[in-house]
DNA sequence: TCTTCTGAATTTTTT
DNA sequence: ATTCAGAAGA
């Protein structure tokens, strides 16, 4: 062989390069190395989606793209971090400067910087859904006093949903109400009135809710060409994960972010779209090629996760779907047991069966952490949690009730919010309600007055002199004043608040020890923050995830999770409970064919999480509060699956 | 008039 | 676990 002078150096250089061909299949490789056009990757479940994104980032960096100009949009910041750390591994840490986050957090970033241009102070606060519902509820009530609201008036939660969906989709409130809440159509004028006041409330208090973060970003970038170009020039390459779960606004935002370069890779799977309840448009995936001209479409259809026996079932489930890109997943993993379908008599039987399964798996050397129990809604696992407890099986639960949504956490956060912004009326009100003799009415009245004044307020002329003169009220005001003075770390403030709040907690909740532990955890969460405002906003934007790593992985615990929270994850064995009518699909979806289709996709997502064993459990009866024991049918989506794909088991 | 207590009803999924 | 409606109590 001829020995070219440059050859040695060249091959040495090559050896440092990443071996793309060796680690990617032809479709993945095509997506990773595509250049000069927008790319849409239709990535079936378990087809190496994350791998493709990670290698794409690495490839871009090797092409000489500055990592700082790459933007990775994912569903959660945690997903972004996971991908970045995997890419960093490939590239010896050269990707540390890649930006990543959710559409919301990216909007936040942009608005902090340029929000002035559309009338927002850079220090705006972010309302989480709880804040937003609280505000709407207050407005709703104040409205009702005047209009003497009828019995069927929608709850704040419903109003929030209607308004939010209207804003996310561009529909009017009336159209949205008509299609999703036909019985509320008579209240449309009132809902619109609430919306108007809500908007004024946010403007007056320099607040943005989740929708605003997207809406205002889109508005800013649409109206200000110079800013649009400036932002688009900063992030010259954009990768989007889980594109099927974006809503219309997010698609618009992406279009704007990619102005002038169109270097976008969107990855998603329309069959796994499970967030339409909050406005996700899986059609965004279908429309992508129309929005980005010259899009190259790559399909990933080889599944690396599940056995053929499991795929047979999941393919059958998705086959019945009425819309979406046609795709058929295949695998080379032919070994593996048939999925198991269990029909216990009732919920107790189901829980006992799951425990039995888990124990048996353990004797076969499958650790608890490699097993997940999935369900449609948080409360579906209550009985199972009891049974696990009685059997001494440790577990961690994801989804359902949120840490930040429990009342005691919201109470303590309200103190922090008041320190951060003494004019936060709703937080004042929340705190005041913890005082003896103060209910909603007094709290609202006092909060309104306190919020108007300079802090600490002169309390001598407050209405409700009885309360204002009382010691508890004085203590409270002194506490807040003291906290405002305090310059130490935020955790010191939280500790101080906790000290003050513990007595209230003790008096009002039987399970106060648990709640106290939560509050201590809250203090820990502040550790990495130096700005209170920053901390509060991050709490709204990226709530703590009960760290999946620390508990789920190092401790050996069984995973219980809602299907939504299981997205993107996989386990050796997956047990899906309550695969019955009335649970999956949820009765809430009965109203519309679209929602029913989403239930199907939900079951699809659940079953495609399984690598080796898939177990579906469908009790034959459940206990209705009114009717007593009622028979339930197997989920319609499983009825469609040929029976021979399962082993059927009926516990005795 | 407003708060607090009681018992009953209700609860999908989440940025 | 919370929230709601109704009733008693301050």
Identify the three-state secondary structure at position A571.
strand
Q: Residue A110's pLDDT band (boundaries 50, 70, 90)?
A: very high
pLDDT of residue A522: 87
Question: How many Å from the CA of A547 to C1' of B6?
Answer: 39
- Please give the share of chain A, as a percent, with pLDDT higher than 90: 40
A437: Cβ under 7 Å from strand B? yes
pLDDT tens for each residue of A2-19: 333 333 333 333 346 788
Would the pLDDT of A550 be above 60? no
| pLDDT score for A82 | 82
A347 class by beta-carbon count within 10 Å (0-12 exposed, 13-18 middle, 19+ buried): buried
Q: What is the 3-state secondary structure (H, E, C) of A449-515?
A: HHHHCCCCCCCCCCCCHHHHHCHHHHHHHHHHHHHHHCCCCHHHHHHHHHHHHHHHHHHHCCCHHHH
- Nearest nucleotide to the CA of A437, by C1', is B3
Beta-bridge partner residues of A395: A558
**Nucleotide with C1' nearest the A407 CA:** C2
Largest CA distance in chain A: 99
Residue–nucleotide distance: A20 CA to C6 C1' (Å):
70
Positions in chain C where some atom is under 7 Å from a protein CB: 1-5
Residue reference for tokens 């809500």: A198
Closest CA to A622 of A391, A382, A397, A389: A382
Asked if residue A472 lies in contact with residue A504, where contact means CB atoms within 8 angstroms, the answer is no
Q: Phi and psi at residue A570, in whole multiples of 5°?
A: -150, 155
Closest residue to B11 measured CA to C1′ = A379
For residue A78, the model assigns a pLDDT of: 75
- CA–CA distance, A337 with A206 (Å, rounded to integer): 58
Interatomic separation, CA of residue A148 and C1' of nucleotide B4, rounded (Å): 24
| Residue A556 and residue A145 in contact, taking contact as beta carbons nearer than 8 Å | no
Nearest CA to A565 among A409, A401, A320?
A401
Q: Running DSSP on this structure, what letter comes out for residue A554?
A: I
The pLDDT value given to residue A548:
47
Evaluate if the CB of A448 falls below 7 Å from strand B. Answer: no
DSSP letter string, A15-35: HHS--HHHHS-HHHHHHHH--
DSSP state at residue A399 = S
pLDDT in tens, A594-649: 888 899 999 999 999 999 999 999 999 887 776 777 888 999 999 999 999 999 99
The bases of strand B with some atom under 7 A from any protein CB are 1-4, 10-15
Q: Tell me A651's DSSP state.
A: -
Footprint of strand C on the protein (CB under 7 A): A 151, 155-156, 401, 405-407, 511
Q: Residue A316: in which H helix or E strand, if any?
A: helix A308-319
Taking Cα atoms as reference points, which of A575, A36, A612 lies closest to residue A341?
Answer: A575
Q: Determine the average pLDDT of the residues in A487-516.
A: 86
Residue among A231, A194, A242 at smallest CA distance from A80? A242
Distance CA A83 to C1' B7 in A? 51
Question: Residue A326 CA to nucleotide C5 C1', Å?
Answer: 52
The DSSP element (H or E) to which A43 belongs, if any, is strand A39-43
The C1' atom of B11 and the CA atom of A136 lie apart, in whole Å, by 20
- Sign of the CA dihedral running A206, A211, A215, A218: positive
Q: Which CA-bearing residue is nearest the C1' of B12?
A: A377
Is A403 or A356 the better-scoring residue by pLDDT?
A356
Nucleotide nearest to A137 (CA to C1'): C3
Nearest one of A253, A272, A267 to A168, comparing CA atoms: A253
pLDDT at A333: 82
User: Per-residue pLDDT for A511 more than 70?
Assistant: yes
Confidence of residue A422 (pLDDT cuts 50, 70, 90): confident
DSSP per residue over A49-102, as a string?
Answer: HHHHHHHHHHHHHHTT--GGGEEEE-SSHHHHHHHHHHHHHHTTTTTTT-EEE-
pLDDT at A444 over 90: no
- pLDDT value for A322: 75
Cα–Cα distance for residue pair A592/A589, rounded to 1 Å: 6
Nearest to A358, CA basis, from A94, A633, A152, A559: A559
Residue A552 in this model has a pLDDT that exceeds 60: no
The integer distance in angstroms from the CA atom of A647 to the C1' atom of B4 is 56
Q: What is the mean pLDDT of chain A?
A: 86
Confirm whether any atom of chain B, the nucleic acid strand, is less than 7 Å from CB of A564.
yes
How much is the pTM? 0.88
Nucleotide C5 C1' to residue A109 CA (A): 45
Three-state DSSP state, A265:
strand
pLDDT above 60: residue A554:
no
Considering only residues 376-395 of chain A, list those whose CB is below 7 Å from strand B.
Answer: 376-379
| Pair A342, A618: CB distance under 8 Å | yes
Distance CA A343, CA A206 (A): 54
Select the more confidently predicted residue: A556 or A243.
A243
Per-residue flag: A75 CB under 7 A of strand B: yes
Query: Could you tell me the two tokens for A111?
Result: 């608005």
Whole-angstrom Cα distance, residue A118 to residue A650? 63
**Per-state percent for chain A, helix, strand, coil, to nearest 5:** 55, 10, 30
**A173-198 residue pLDDT tens:** 888 888 888 888 888 888 888 899 99
User: A625: Cβ under 7 Å from strand B?
Assistant: yes
pLDDT at A460: 60
DSSP reduced 3-state for A168: helix
Confidence category of residue A154, pLDDT binned at 50, 70, 90: confident
pLDDT at A547 exceeding the cut of 60: no
Q: How far is the CA of A183 from the C1' of B4 (A)?
A: 34
Q: How far does the CA of A547 sit from the C1' of B13, in Å?
A: 20
Residue from A415, A418, A420, A462 nearest A442 by CA = A462
pLDDT for the residue numbered A208: 93
pLDDT at A465 > cutoff 70: no
Q: What is the pLDDT, as a whole number, of residue A509?
A: 83
What Å value separates CA A207 and C1' C10?
39
Core vs surface per residue A68-89: b (16+ CB within 10 A) or e: ebbbbbbbbbebbebbbebbbe
pLDDT at site A525: 86
Check if residue A589 sits with its Cβ under 7 angstroms from strand B. Answer: yes
- Calculate the angstrom distance between C1' of C4 and CA of A141: 14
Among A518, A415, A536, which residue's Cα sits nearest to residue A475? A415
Q: CA(A437)–C1'(C10) in Å?
A: 10
pLDDT of A327 over the 50 cut: yes
pLDDT at A184: 82
Cα torsion angle, A206, A211, A217, A223, sign: negative
Separation in Å: B13 C1' and A241 CA: 19
- In this complex, the answer to whether residue A120 has its CB under 7 A from any atom of chain B, a nucleic strand, is no
Q: Give dist(CA A496, CA A519) in Å, integer.
A: 11
Give the closest nucleotide to A214 (alpha carbon vs C1').
B15
pLDDT in tens, A47-100: 999 999 999 999 999 898 998 999 999 877 778 888 888 888 888 777 778 888
A443: CB within 7 A of chain B nucleic strand:
yes
Tell me the backbone φ, ψ of residue A124, rounded to 5 degrees. -55, 150
List the one residue out of A300, A296, A299 whose CA is nearest residue A35.
A296
Q: What whole-number distance in Å separates Cα of residue A526 and Cα of residue A522?
A: 7
Judged against a pLDDT cut of 80, whether residue A152 lies above it is answered with no
Are A412 and A434 spatial neighbours (Cβ–Cβ below 8 Å)? no
Report if CB A105 to strand B is under 7 Å. Answer: yes
Using the CA of A151, which nucleotide's C1' is the nearest one? C5
What is the arithmetic mean of pLDDT over A241-263?
A: 94
Long-range CB contacts for residues A435-438, cutoff 8 Å, separation at least 24: A435/A467, A435/A470, A435/A472, A435/A473, A435/A476, A436/A472, A437/A466, A437/A467, A437/A470, A438/A467
Condensed to tens digits (0 to 9), the pLDDT of residues A282-317 reads 889 989 999 999 999 999 999 999 999 999 999 999
Residue A546 region, left (φ>0) first, then alpha (ψ -120 to 50), else beta? left
Residue nearest to nucleotide B9 (CA to C1'): A625
A543 contact to strand B (CB, 7 A limit): yes
Note the pLDDT of residue A580: 92
The separation, in Å, between residue A32 CA and nucleotide B15 C1' comes to 28
**Closest alpha carbon to A241 in A34, A71, A66, A24:** A71
Q: What is the pLDDT of residue A382?
A: 85
Q: Which sign does the torsion angle of CA A355, A361, A366, A371 carry?
A: negative
Q: What would the two tokens of residue A418 be? A: 């008041």
């Amino acid at each position: 062989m001829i020995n070219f002078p440059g050859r040695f150096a060249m091959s040495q250089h090559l050896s440092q390069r990443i071996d793309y061909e060796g680690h990617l299949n032809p479709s993945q490789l095509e997506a990773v190395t595509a250049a000069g056009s927008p790319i849409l990757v239709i990535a079936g479940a378990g087809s190496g989606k994350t791998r493709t994104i990670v290698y794409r980032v690495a490839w871009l960096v090797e092409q000489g793209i500055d990592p700082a100009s790459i933007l990775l949009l994912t569903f959660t910041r945690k997903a972004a971090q996971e991908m970045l750390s995997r890419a960093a591994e490939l590239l010896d840490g050269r990707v540390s400067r890649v930006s990543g986050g959710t559409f919301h957090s990216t909007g936040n970033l942009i608005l902090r910087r340029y929000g002035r241009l559309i009338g927002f102070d850079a220090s705006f606060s972010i309302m989480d859904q709880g804040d937003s519902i609280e505000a709407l509820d207050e407005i709703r009530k104040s409205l009702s006093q005047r209009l003497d609201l009828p019995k069927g008036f929608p709850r704040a939660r419903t109003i929030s949903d209607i308004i939010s969906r209207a804003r996310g989709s561009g529909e009017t409130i009336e159209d949205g109400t008509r299609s999703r809440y036909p019985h509320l159509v008579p209240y449309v004028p009132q809902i619109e009135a609430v919306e108007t006041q809500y908007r004024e409330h946010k403007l007056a208090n320099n607040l943005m809710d989740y929708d605003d973060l997207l809406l205002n970003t889109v508005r800013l970038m649409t109206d200000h060409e110079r800013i649009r170009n400036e932002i688009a020039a900063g992030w010259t390459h954009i990768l989007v994960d889980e594109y099927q779960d974006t809503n219309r606004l997010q698609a618009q935002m992406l279009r704007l972010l990619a102005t002038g370069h169109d270097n976008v890779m969107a990855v998603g799977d329309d069959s796994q779209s499970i967030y339409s309840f909050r406005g996700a448009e899986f059609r965004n995936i279908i429309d992508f090629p129309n929005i980005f001209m010259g899009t190259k479409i790559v399909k990933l259809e080889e599944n690396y996760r599940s056995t053929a026996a499991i795929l047979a079932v999941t393919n059958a489930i998705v086959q019945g779907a009425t819309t979406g890109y046609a795709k058929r997943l295949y695998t080379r993993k032919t070994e593996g047991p048939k999925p198991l379908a269990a029909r216990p008599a009732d919920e107790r039987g189901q829980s006992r069966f799951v425990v039995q399964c888990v124990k048996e798996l353990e004797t076969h050397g499958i650790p608890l952490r490699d097993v997940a129990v999935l369900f449609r809604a948080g409360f579906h696992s209550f009985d199972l949690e009891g049974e696990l407890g009685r059997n001494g099986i440790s577990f961690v639960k994801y989804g359902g009730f949120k840490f930040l949504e429990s009342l005691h956490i919201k109470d303590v956060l309200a103190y922090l919010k008041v320190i951060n912004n003494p004019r936060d009326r709703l937080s004042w009100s929340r705190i005041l309600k913890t005082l003896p003799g103060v209910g909603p009415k007094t709290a609202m009245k006092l909060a309104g007055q306190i919020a108007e004044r300079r802090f600490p307020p002169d309390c001598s002329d407050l209405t409700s002199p009885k309360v204002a003169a009382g010691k508890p009220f004085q203590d409270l005001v002194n506490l807040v004043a003291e906290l405002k003075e305090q310059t130490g770390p935020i955790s010191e403030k939280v500790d101080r608040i906790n000290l003050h709040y513990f007595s209230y907690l003790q008096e009002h909740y039987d399970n106060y020890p648990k709640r106290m532990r939560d509050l201590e955890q809250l203090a820990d969460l502040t550790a990495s923050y130096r700005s209170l405002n920053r901390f509060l906003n991050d709490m709204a934007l990226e709530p703590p995830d009960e760290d999946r790593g620390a508990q789920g992985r190092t401790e050996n615990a069984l995973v219980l999770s809602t299907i939504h929270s299981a997205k993107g994850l996989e386990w050796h064995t997956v047990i899906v409970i309550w695969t019955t009518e009335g649970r999956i699909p949820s009765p809430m979806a009965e109203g519309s064919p679209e929602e029913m289709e989403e239930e199907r996709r939900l079951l699809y997502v659940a079953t495609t999480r399984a690598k080796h064993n898939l177990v579906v459990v469908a009790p034959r009866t459940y206990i209705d509060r009114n009717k007593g024991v009622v028979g339930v049918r197997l989920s319609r989506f499983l009825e469609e699956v040929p029976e021979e794909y399962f082993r059927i088991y009926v516990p005795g």
